């Protein structure tokens, strides 16, 4: 009439694995939404700049303003790399897969926010200045954004998971 201890334990493990899988999917979905949003905004900026007449695109440009988007893009990349290094060092001390995944989720959100913020500032400067060259700096930021794409392999590598933890994570995440 009741469940045995083994059946109850199996149900708990299955529930835990389902939560882990949902957490990883949510992390990936948020990342993709941020990625696509940046591309959409870049497309709008490109359309707005190329749609201007020659007279309308003539703006005052100072030397320092022309270098500002590059400095912002490099600051975003450096900030994301440093924050990622600090967070993954903290996360490597965790041993439970759900805690590691929760920490990884926060790490992905933080580094994505840093990069996206800098990319959007670069796009805004491109729009204000009417300069398509700035989209190259945005492209550099997007390469950095793609570098940090969340995957089970990147989680395993960055957090130094043991072989057992890595196999458990892959088994759970690929179960879908």
Question: How would DSSP label each residue in 56-105?
Answer: TT-----HHHHHHHHHHHHHHHHHHHHHHHHHHHHHTT--SHHHHHHHHH
Q: Name every residue whose Cβ is closer than 8 Å to that of residue 13 and which is 6 or more positions away in sequence.
A: none
Residue 86: pLDDT over 90: yes
Q: What is the pLDDT of residue 54?
A: 46
Q: Quick one: angle between helices 152-159 and 163-173, nearest 10?
A: 160
Confidence of residue 135 (pLDDT cuts 50, 70, 90): very high
Short-list 59, 57, 39, CA closest to 48: 57
Residue 112: pLDDT over 90: yes
Specify the pTM. 0.78
Short-list 32, 58, 40, CA closest to 138: 40
- Among 22-31, 44-53, 59-68, the minimum mean pLDDT is found in 59-68
Helix residue ranges, H only, the chain: 5-50, 63-91, 97-129, 134-147, 152-159, 163-173
More confident residue, 97 or 5: 97
Query: What backbone torsions phi and psi does residue 157 show, to the nearest 5 degrees?
Result: -70, -50
Confidence of residue 10 (pLDDT cuts 50, 70, 90): low
Q: What is the pLDDT of residue 40?
A: 93
């Amino acid at each position: 009439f009741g469940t045995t201890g083994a059946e109850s334990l199996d149900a708990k493990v299955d529930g835990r694995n389902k939560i882990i899988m949902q957490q990883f999917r949510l992390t990936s979905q948020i990342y993709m939404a941020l990625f696509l949003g940046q591309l959409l905004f870049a497309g709008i900026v490109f359309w707005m700049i190329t749609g201007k007449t020659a007279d309308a695109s003539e703006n005052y440009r100072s030397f320092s303003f022309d270098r500002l988007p590059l400095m912002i893009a490099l600051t975003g990349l450096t900030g994301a790399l440093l924050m990622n290094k600090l967070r993954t060092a903290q996360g490597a001390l965790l041993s439970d897969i759900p805690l590691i995944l929760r920490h990884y989720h926060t790490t992905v959100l933080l580094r994505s926010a840093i990069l996206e913020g800098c990319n959007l500032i670069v796009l805004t400067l491109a729009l204000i200045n009417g300069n398509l060259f700035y989209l190259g700096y945005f492209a550099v930021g997007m390469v950095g954004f793609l570098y940090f794409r969340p995957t089970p392999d990147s989680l395993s590598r960055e957090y130094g998971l043991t072989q057992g933890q890595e196999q458990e994570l892959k088994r759970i995440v690929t179960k879908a």
